[in-house]
Structure 1
Amino acid sequence: NGVAVSISFTVYGICLCRARTARTGTTWTQEIVDLLLHNGDAEVCKRAPTAVRIPFLEICAPPPIPSGLDLIEQMKPPRVIKTHLPIQLVPKGFWENKCKVIYMARNAKDNLVSYFHFDRMNLTQPEPGPWDGYIHKFMKGQLGWGSWYDHVKGYWKEHKERNILYILYEDMKENPFREIKRIMHYLDLSVSEDVIKRIVQLTSFQVMKDNPMANYSYIPKPVFDQSISVFMRKGEVGDWVNHFTSAQSQMFDEDYANQMKDVDIPFRFSI
C-alpha cells in the first residue's frame, strides 16, 4: 500500500519519527522540541495537548475530530510535525524543502514490550492477543507501521545523506542533557545551559506523566482505556527482562542477529 500526501513547508518543519510505531520516545522528543522552541517556558508548552501542538501527519479520524493534515494546514511556520511513516512513505516535500528530521529509535525488546501494553489499552488497535504470539507478530512485521527492522534500518541507512538526526532512546535516558543539546544544535537554536537543565527536569518521565498536556489523559476512553494500561507506563530501559522468558529471549536474539546483520546501529538493551 502507498500513501500519497502533498504538503508545502515554509521556513522549516520538523518530522518526529520513531522506530516502527508507538512507544519509542516520540512524545518525549516532541516535548523537548517544543520547550527548546519556547526557551523552556513550561506554561507556553501547556497551551494545548501534544497532539494539537504537534500534529500526527497520517492520523485520520471520523468528524468532528480533525485529521493530522487538517491541523497542519492551520499552523503557521515553523511547523513541528509527528509521523511514524517508514522513510519510503515520507512525503517528498520534507526532503525537497530540507526539513529538519529527528528520528528517535528504541531497542527492539523494550519497544516490543511497551507496544504490547499500548495495544492492550488502545482500542483503535487490533487486539494484541497473548504475549507469546505478539513476539512472533513483531518479528514478522505484522504490527502497525510494519517491520521494526525495516523501519529503523531505513532511516539509519539514509540519516547522513538526508541530514537526519538519529537519536537512541537509551542515550537519552542515560544523558538527557547531552542529547537535548544535540537536538538544540541540530535545530540551529541557542538556549542557555540553565534552560537545558530546566528542560531536562520538565521532560523527566514523572513530570511528563503528571502533565495532562503530555500524558494523553485527555483522550476519551473509547479510544484509550488507561484503566488497562496507562499511556506513560514505565519509560525504562531493560524492562523487557520482566516479560521475556529465557527461551523467548534466545529465540528473539537469534532472529534479531539475522535481521540486523547488515547494519551497525548501536542499540543497547540495558544501561
Structure 2
Amino acid sequence: MDEQNIFRRELVDVQGVPVFWGMAEEWSQVETFEARPDDLLIATYPKSGTTWLSEIVDLIYNNGDTEKCKRDAIYNRVPFMEFIIPGISSGIEQLQNVQSPRLVKTHLPVQLLPSSFWKNNCKMIYVARNAKDVAVSYYYFYQMAKIHPDPGTWEEFLESFMAGKVCFGSWYDHVKGWWEKKKDYHILYLFYEDMKENPKCEIQKLLKFLEKDMPEETVAKIVHHTSFDVMKQNPSANYTTLDNGEMDHSVSPFMRKGISGDWKNKFTVAQYERFEEDYKNKMKGSTLKFRSEI
C-alpha cells in the first residue's frame, strides 16, 4: 500500500469513538484479543505520558538495567495493541510473539477494551494529564504524525478536541471512564502532574502496585534515566528511529517539551474562558480533580 493511501485519512467511528481507519477495518482482531493473566496494561489518553510510563515500567521489569532497556525501540518493547495498518503493522500480531510477562500499551477508552483484560483481572496502570496541556500536545502531534487527519488551525483543532472529534474520542469520557472502573478492578490511576512534581514518589507507588522491591539507588537511577531531558536524547525512547514519512520530527519533535502548563503559551484568553466553561459541564459530578500547572 503506498504512503498516499495510509496518511492523512479521515478517522472512522467504532462504537461512537473516532479511530484510525486501519483499526476500524480490523476491529474484530482487537475485540477478540486474548490477554494473558500476567499482562500489564498501560492505558492512557494520547499525549498523557504514555512513553514516559512505558519506559519506567520496562526499567522496573528489568531491575533498572538501562542497557537492557535500549535493546529496542519503545514501541517494540511495549507494543501498541490496537494500532493496525493493514498489511504493514499490527500491534496484535506483535504481542502474539512476545513472551510473558508482556507490557501492553493502549489508548482505548474503557468501554472498547477487549473483554479478556477484565476476565483475566489483569493489572492496569492509567495515567491522566490535564486537558489543556493534552489538547496543545495533541495538536502538535497531529501535525507531525501523519497517520492523523490534518489538524487544521489551532482554533479548529481545539474545537474538535472539545467535541471529542479526535482520535480515541473525548478526553473527558476517557479519563472519567477509567476513573470509575478502578473501583472494581486492579487499576493504578496516576497523574502526569504528580509524576512531574515527584517522580520518585510515583515510581514507589508503581513498585508497590507491581509488588516489587528495589534498592533506593536503583530507584534514583530510574528517576534519572526517565527524566525528560535524558529520554529526549535516547533513540530507543524518542521515536526518532521511525521513518520520517510517518513522523516528521522537523515539524515538531515527538518529545516536545514535557512540561506542565504549556497551554498558557497557546490558549487565548477567549479560548481559555470558553474551554473552562465547557470543562465544568463535562466534568460535572465527577470526583476526578486535575491540576493544570504545578
| TM-score for both structures, normalised by structure 1 | 0.96
| Deviation (angstroms), 1:8 | 3.1
| Aligned ranges 1:1-271 → 2 under 5 Å | 1-2=14-15, 3-4=27-28, 5-19=31-45, 22-63=46-87, 65-271=88-294
Measure, in 2, the Cα distance between the counterparts of 1:15 and 1:89: 14
Give the superposition deviation at 1:9: 3.6
Task: State the distance in 2 between where 1:192 and 1:208 align.
Answer: 22
Deviations 1:120-162 (A, max 9, x none): 1111111100111111111100000010111011001111211
Counterpart amino acid of residue 262 in structure 2: D
Counterpart of 2:24 in structure 1 is none
Distance 1:160 1:175, change over 3 A: same
Partner of 2:22: none
| Alignment partners' CA distance in 2, 1:153 and 1:74 | 33
Describe the superposition over 1:37-84 as per-residue Cα deviations: whole angstroms up to 9, x where unpaired.
Answer: 111000000111011111100011244x43101110001110100000
- Inter-partner Cα distance in structure 1 for 2:37 and 2:277: 45
Cα pair 2:39 2:122 within 8 Å, conserved: yes
With 153-162 and 27-36 compared, the bigger mean Cα shift is at: 153-162
The Cα of 1:261 is off from its aligned counterpart by 0.8
How far is 1:11 from its partner?
4.7
Query: What is the aligned residue count?
Result: 268
Q: Is the 8 A contact 1:11 1:77 kept in 2?
A: no
Counterparts of 2:38 and 2:32, CA distance in 1: 16
Find the counterpart in structure 1 of residue 4 from structure 2: none
- Contact 2:37–2:121 under 8 Å retained in 1: no
Aligned residues of 2:122 and 2:186 also touching (Cα < 8 A): no
C-alpha deviation, 1:91, in angstroms:
0.8
CA RMSD of aligned residues (A): 1.1
Residues 142-195 of structure 1 deviation map (CA, whole Å, 9 limit, x = unaligned): 000010111011001111211211110000000000001111111111111111
Runs of 4+, deviation exceeding 6 Å: none
- Which structure 1 segments of 5+ residues have no match? none
- Percent of pairs with identical residues: 46
